[in-house]
Structure 1
């Protein structure tokens, strides 16, 4: 369970922002979304490979 202590003089908005950041780092929401639908291992590898190819091409274009 995440706990966020509001410091003296700190606004609620700032504390909420820290809480949201902590929550995002735990990747709970991402895990829930992944479990919602089954993805075959071969399809997952294909997606990872496509992302890597895109990233390589993007970085190559930045250098030019």
Structure 2
């Protein structure tokens, strides 16, 4: 559970912005998304390999 202390006289929008930033940094959103449905380990590994290939292709193009 995230707790955001609100300072006296602080705008609620600013506190909400701090909450959202903290929420993203903790990885809660990614964790909830991953728990929504089960992905087989082979599918996860394939996605990691495809990402690595894409990054490598970008680095190769940058060197040319």
Q: CA RMSD in A?
A: 1.7
Which runs of structure 2 are paired with 1:18-57 in the superposition (5 Å)? 18-57=18-57
Q: Structure 1: state its 5+ residue gaps.
A: none
What SS is found at the alignment partner of 2:2? coil
What SS is found at the alignment partner of 2:6? coil
Instruction: Name the stretch that deviates more: 9-18 or 42-51.
Output: 9-18
| TM-score, normalised via structure 1 length | 0.78
Deviating 4+ runs (over 3 angstroms): none
Q: Structure 2: state its 5+ residue gaps.
A: none
How many residues are matched? 64
| TM-score, normalised via structure 2 length | 0.78
1:4–1:60: structure 2 CA closer, same or farther, 3 Å change rule?
Answer: same
